[in-house]
Amino acid sequence: MTSRILFNQEMDKLNEEVAQMASLAREAVEKAVRCIVNKDPVLKAEVERLDREIYHMEQIIEKRCLELIALHTPVAGDLRTVSTCLKIITDLNRIGRYASDIVEVYEVVASDNGFHRPVNIPHMASLVVAMVTDAIDSFIRRDDRAARQLFDRDDEVDCLYDLNFRAILTYMIEDPRKITVGTHIILIARYLERIADHSCNIGERVVYMVTGERMNPKDRKKSTSRTCVNSSTSLKQDDLDSMQRSDHDLAEK
C-alpha cells in the first residue's frame, strides 16, 4: 500500500540510527554514574569511548537528515520526524559529553573519603538515568504523554541539585581541605542536572513530532527554587534514611 520505497527505507534507517545513538547515550550516563558511585576505574575508559562514538554518530545522522530533506522533500509528519531527529541528536551528543565530563574527575573523587554528612548524588543520578531512559523510550514509541511527564521529574532533579549545592557549600566552609573534591562533586551534580534538562528537551521535541504542537516555555519550568526548599522539608524520613545509608557507604570506603 505504501509507495516511496526508497524514502521509507531511509526513514527506517534514520530511526534505527537515532535509537542506537540514544541507547549509547543512556549507556554512557549509566556507566558514568556507576564509575563514580562504585569507584570502578574500568568504566572511565568505557565512557570516554562511548562519548567518541556518540559524537561520530551525530555526524552520520545529521548527514542522513540533510540528504532526506534535499532529496525527498518530506512534509507533514515526515518533516517533523526528520527535524526532531536533527535536534535530539544534539541533545544526545551533549548527554554523552556530560557523561564523559563526569568521569573525568574520577581520580580526584575516588581518592577522597567523602563527607561525614549525607550527599545524595546516587539518588539524583538514578533519577537522571531514569529520565534519559524514558525520554528515549518516548521517542521510539512516539508516546507524547510519557514525554510530557518528564517535565515534573526535571523539577525534582533541579530541587536535588539545589539541595546538594547548598549542602556541599556548607561542608566546604566547615572543612577547607574538602574544597577541591567538593567543587568537583558540585560539578558532577551540575552535569547530572544538565543531562536531565537535555532529556526534557528530547521530550519537548517528541511532543512536537507527534502532535505538531510547540510547547509553551512556561510549561517547562513550573516550580521555582523557593518552592523546592519547601518540598525539601517535606522529604519523607525513609528517603532521608536511604540517602544517609548510601552516603554512609560512600563515607566508609
Partner 1 sequence: MVKIMNGSIQVKDLNVWFDQNHALKGVTFSIPKNEITAIIGPSGCGKSTFIRCVNRMNDIVPKCRVEGQIIVNGKNIYDPDVDVVEIRRRTGMVFQKPNPFPKSIFENIAYAPRIHRREEPSAKQKGEMVVKKYTKKELENLVEASIKRAALWDEVKDRMNKSAYDLSGGQQQRLCIARTLAVNPEILLLDEPCSALDPIATAKIEDLLVDLKKDYTVVIVTHNMQQAARVADKTAFFYLGELIEFDKTETIFERPKEKLTEQYITGRMG
What is residue 194's three-state secondary structure?
helix
Which one of 19-27, 71-79, 121-129, 228-236 is the stretch in contact with partner 1 (CB under 8 A)? 71-79
Quick check: 9 binds partner 1 (CB under 8 A)? no
Q: What is the DSSP string of 39-83?
A: T-THHHHHHHHHHHHHHHHHHHHHHHHHHHHHHH---HHHHHHHH
Q: How far is the CB of 12 from partner 1 (least distance, A)?
A: 14
Quick check: 4 binds partner 1 (CB under 8 A)? yes
The residue from 17, 53, 78, 144 that contacts partner 1 (CB under 8 A) is 78
Cell of 42: 574500568
- The closest of 165, 41, 60 to 106, measured between CA atoms, is 41
Cell of 152: 515534573
Provide the sign of the torsion angle of the four alpha carbons 119, 121, 123, 127, taken in this order.
positive
Quick check: 73 binds partner 1 (CB under 8 A)? yes
CB 157 within 8 A of CB 124: yes
Quick check: 75 binds partner 1 (CB under 8 A)? yes
The residue from 71, 77, 141, 149 that contacts partner 1 (CB under 8 A) is 77
Q: How far is the CB of 208 from partner 1 (least distance, A)?
A: 9
Site string for partner 1, 204-233 (x = CB under 8 A): --------x---------------------
In the complex, the residues that contact partner 1 under the rule CB under 8 A are: 1-4, 7, 73-80, 212
